[in-house]
Structure 1
Amino acid sequence: MITTIALDVGETLISDTSVWAGWADWLGVPPHTVSALVGAVVVQGRDNADALRLLRPGLDVAAETAARDAAGCGESLTEADLYADVRPALAAMRDAGLQVVIAGNQTARAADQLRALDLPADIIATSGEWGTAKPEAEFFERLVDVAGARPEQVVYVGDHPANDMFPAAAAGLRTAHLRRGPWGYYWAYDPAVIAAATWRIDSLAEVVEVVRR
């Protein structure tokens, strides 16, 4: 029996629009340029930070992120960044008696910002707090541990094949591939993604229905 719904953050709960717009401002290029380059690295199966390195070869993304933070231009997750279905869908999951866990590849600072949004979730944790990141197996071991469940009782919902679907399935979790954001749309019909996904959904509103079906 499924007891827990665990959700990725970027392009699952939060639109990355403001994230990339912030980088565009910082690097002095139009937002659509960054978006186009993100699309280019997506179709090549590369890390999204490579889009920034196309703009500035050799860019040390970690150092540049620290510089943005020091300048007061760092990451900021607000209500406006949430997809419209997030609050009602998470509330529906809890109403259905399911534990809701938010766990993604974000910083500890992002975790604090997510908690400040007062989302209907039981647990919020990030890779920055755990010291392990997707797609590492340890990330999913920590997820199952904090959920207090067996792997097969947990559904991981996400958009990214390499970070979400493949490692979650390998760890024994059920998976729901969300067709949202560049990764979710581009890889939606890839045979390997279809094989790894227990369910394929277009909205978080579908989660309760598919897991209870």
Structure 2
Amino acid sequence: MIETIVFDVGETLVRDDRHWASWADWLGIPRHTVSALVGAATVQDRDDTDALRLIRPGMDIAEAYRAREASGRGQHLDESDLYPDVRPALAGLRKLGVRVVLAGNQTARAGELLRGLDLPADLVATSGEWGVAKPSPEFFARVTEAAEAAPDRTVYVGDHPAYDLFPAKEAGLRTAHLRRGPWGYLWADDPAVVKAADWRIDSLTQLAAIVAD
């Protein structure tokens, strides 16, 4: 029986269009350039922030975030950034009695913005708030604690094999790989992903049927 479902955030709940466009504007380069470099990092199975360091070698990402906030060009998140299946999927799971947790690699500010959207979730947490980030085992230990359920009764949902699927599986959680975003589409049929995923989904609304089964 599934008691808790924990969701990754970027490209699982939230589209990254605005995120990368804002970085392009901050760096003063075409948005297409950043998109192409993120795609290249995806294909090479590298961290997406490597795309920024290709543009500005040695960039301190945390310092850049602070500089953007100080200049009034910091993070922004509103309803238009959500994928259309997010609210109905989360609300449907809550009606089934499932605990819903949002936990991904985001800044503390992103956590504030997510909570401001008043999503149907029991808890919203970010790596910036926890002080640990995916794919570290410490992050998934915090996920297990936040789930308030046994690992085999908890599902972690995400698009990225190396940051979501594999470490969640190693932590003993059930896993659902979402075919969405660059990583989700690129790695969807990889044999390692197929083997590690308890479920493979194309929409978050499919999770209700998984819980019902």
TM-score scaled by length of structure 2: 0.97
Q: Give 1:67 deviation, angstroms.
A: 1.1
Structure 2 residue aligned with 1:59: 59
2:79 alignment partner AA: E
Instruction: Please list the CA deviations of residues 45-86 of structure 1 after superposition, one character each: whole Å capped at 9, or x if unmatched.
Output: 001011111222222222222111111111111111000000
CA deviation after TM superposition for structure 1 residue 189, in Å: 0.8
Q: Does residue 28 of the first structure (1) align with residue 28 of the second (2)?
A: yes
Show the counterpart of 2:164.
Answer: 164
Please report how far the alpha carbon of residue 212 of structure 1 lies from its aligned counterpart in structure 2 after TM superposition. 2.5
Root mean square deviation, CA, Å: 0.9
> Helix, strand or coil: the match of 2:133?
coil
Q: Is the 8 A contact 2:5 2:147 kept in 1?
A: no
Hey, what does 1:73 align to over in structure 2? 73
Distance 2:6 2:147 in 1: 9
- Residue aligning to 1:124: 124
Aligned to 1:2: 2
Aligned to 1:42: 42
Partner of 1:196: 196
Cα distance in 1, alignment partners of residues 184 and 111 from structure 2: 23
**1:120-144 Cα shifts (integer Å, max 9, x gaps):** 0011111111111111111111111
Which string of whole-angstrom CA distances, capped at 9 and with x for unpartnered residues, describes residues 10-48 of structure 1?
A: 000000000000001011111111111100000000010
Identity %: 65
Runs of 4+ that moved beyond 3 A = none
Using the alignment, how far apart are the partners of 2:67 and 2:108 within structure 1? Answer: 17
8 Å contact from structure 2 (residues 179, 200) kept in 1 = yes
User: 5+ residue gaps in structure 2?
Assistant: none
Q: 1:16, 1:126 → 2: CA distance?
A: 16
**Does residue 209 of structure 1 match 2:205?**
no
